Structure 1
Amino acid sequence: MTTFAKGHGTENDFVLLDDPEGRIDLTPELIRSLADRRAGLGADGVIRVVRSAAAGQDPSAEWFMDYWNSDGSAAEMCGNGSRVFVAYLLRRGWVSLEDGEELNIATRGGVMPVRRRGELFTIDLGAWKVAGGPPAVAAGSDVTVTFPGLPPLPGLSVSLSNPHVVVALPDVETLAALDLSVPPIVDPAPPNGTNVEIVVPLHDQSVRSELGHLKMRVHERGSGETRSCGTGTVAAALAARAWGGNLAPDHWRVDVPGGTLYVDAEGTASEGDSAKLSGPAVIVAEGELVTS
């Protein structure tokens, strides 16, 4: 029997599989069956909870978050999933983490620290950059993105563990009506696909604010539209920060369909060494998988 849990971070939901010693043969077929919302447990992604040594990962972090999209493809990391991952390690008693303490976790995007802040967790996603550098920041975009029923819109590519493209819309009504049932078309097409975040600024952009405020929806590579995307939330704030120039804040609130997340950014308009994501993590169920 394999022990599993179901958890979510702002309703971005995951199946977590216990595999400390790395014994599970985690195939794309198994991932798709677990993530299936009618025939399986249902999830945006699957996380194998495995020790780094058993998975051949960086031994400086004891635990590796082996993250997979619901379509069976591997992803570099998952911002919401990282918080749920740490919450599950705490629930199982495999780590201890007092308020204010940090735990390093290994991901395909590198080793990243997660800090406990009461009921919330903050992960530092590390270095980031606007893919097109200062020229893309100056132009405000480096790609176009097409959604059903709309003309091509400018998008800004942000590299942050996972690839992202961020698009701004003029109002929340247009955002709510957007059809994300099919993948947006990004031109030029990224070689490995990309997440697409669509945002509407809600703060006064004509004055310097201490806290920026965005409303966001997202279409995730390998999962479709989800209720939230952690790295996408950070990418959205970084793009809005680049668009805002000298008036843009470093601290952001981002409202997604599944709740609210917070972002703290450092660096220039086009790159930096730190970007932090803060939000909740909830474990909702535990059980054992029945295998035939």
Structure 2
Amino acid sequence: MKRQFHKMHGLGNDFVVLDGREQPIEMTPALAKALADRHLGIGCDQLILLEPSEHADVRMRIWNHDGGEVESCGNASRCVVALTGAGTLETGGGIVEGGKIGAEIEVTLPPPHFAWDEIPLNYPMDTARLPLGWGPLDHPMALSVGNPHLVFFVDDAAAIDLDSLGPSIEHDPAFPERINVNVASIRDGEIHLRTWERGAGLTLACGTGACATAVAAIVRKKVASPVRVHMRGGELTIGWAAGEPIRMRGSASHVFKGEIDLEQFV
């Protein structure tokens, strides 16, 4: 049962993309985790499966490195648009629109959600400034951009030990679906960001993390839209206004394509 796959990345956030539109693929958490394994599989932060859609050009499903299926991935959305030429993607977080602008790909995500039960949280709280803290990190903004995020603004994002703090925040009982953790610093009107992704850990870049952080910074009047977001893997430009969709523009890179026998992992 050999199937073709594509290895792609958005600013170093890397993906294995399988196309199940013509020949369906039965993806399971165990299979996704095995394929994502960097020693025994192909290796990636997220595994992407393309399927037919009744609502968009293609349906994009996403499994994290740990095998958990999630709703949205901004960097993967740009990669899928670049790979397929699709103008609309159906995701668990809503319909994503995309297209090429020069050498970059821009995708438009649905408007963010700020209500506690839409993020979701386990109980009502002020999502603009959660009354919670973990060591040096406290009072984050919580929001959903198709998947749940916390955003902490700090003096120096590089100084925060996310390897230690990330897992405890991700799995805190306040977050029934776990949560992505962003720490950001503002310098010269631009955002410098590090993200602990639920189910993947620290990655070189996180597209939805950049979107969530840019929205939080605009809401708190720390930056103006559009804003440049710097991550270890590169930069994204994020634009947003209240009540509007989120626009994200950046690179999408194809690394190689290959074939793999899925039966060896079953």
Give the one of 202, 211, 217 matched to 1:225. Answer: 202
The aligned counterpart of 1:258 is 233
SS class of match (1:233)? helix
Confirm or deny that 1:213 pairs with 2:213: no
Q: Which amino acid aligns with 1:124?
A: T
Write the distance in 2 (CA, Å) between the matches of 1:20 and 1:256.
33
SS class of match (1:179)? helix
Range with greater deviation from structure 2 (272-281 or 21-30): 21-30
Write the distance in 2 (CA, Å) between the matches of 1:239 and 1:66.
26
CA RMSD, 1 decimal: 2.2
TM-score, scaled relative to structure 2: 0.88
- Runs of at least 5 residues in structure 2 that lack an aligned partner in the other structure: 119-124
> How many residue pairs are counted as aligned between the two chains?
254
Write the distance in 2 (CA, Å) between the matches of 1:21 and 1:30.
20
Give the CA deviation at 1:215: 0.5
Give the CA deviation at 1:143: 4.3
Confirm or deny that 1:174 pairs with 2:175: no
The aligned counterpart of 2:121 is none
Give the CA deviation at 1:178: 4.5
Larger Rg, first or second structure (1 or 2) = 1
Confirm or deny that 1:142 pairs with 2:121: no
Indicate if the aligned counterparts of 1:145 and 1:184 stay in contact, CA closer than 8 A.
no
The aligned counterpart of 1:63 is 58
SS class of match (1:232)? helix
Write the distance in 2 (CA, Å) between the matches of 1:283 and 1:254.
22
Write the distance in 1 (CA, Å) between the matches of 2:137 and 2:248.
30
Indicate if the aligned counterparts of 1:265 and 1:275 stay in contact, CA closer than 8 A.
yes
Indicate if the aligned counterparts of 1:4 and 1:288 stay in contact, CA closer than 8 A.
yes
Confirm or deny that 1:283 pairs with 2:254: yes
Indicate if the aligned counterparts of 1:19 and 1:48 stay in contact, CA closer than 8 A.
yes
The aligned counterpart of 1:127 is 111
Confirm or deny that 1:106 pairs with 2:77: no
Confirm or deny that 1:34 pairs with 2:5: no
Give the one of 83, 93, 117 matched to 2:101. Answer: 117
TM-score, scaled relative to structure 1: 0.81
SS class of match (1:82)? helix
Indicate if the aligned counterparts of 1:184 and 1:196 stay in contact, CA closer than 8 A.
no
SS class of match (2:113)? strand
Indicate if the aligned counterparts of 1:145 and 1:185 stay in contact, CA closer than 8 A.
no
Write the distance in 2 (CA, Å) between the matches of 1:125 and 1:184.
28
Change (3 A) 1:241 1:188: farther
Give the CA deviation at 1:154: 1.8
- Runs of at least 5 residues in structure 1 that lack an aligned partner in the other structure: 53-58, 96-102, 204-211
CA distances 1:74-122 after superposition (whole Å, capped 9, x unpaired): 11111000011111214xxxx5xxxxxxx11111112221021022111
Write the distance in 1 (CA, Å) between the matches of 2:136 and 2:57.
48
Write the distance in 2 (CA, Å) between the matches of 1:184 and 1:194.
10
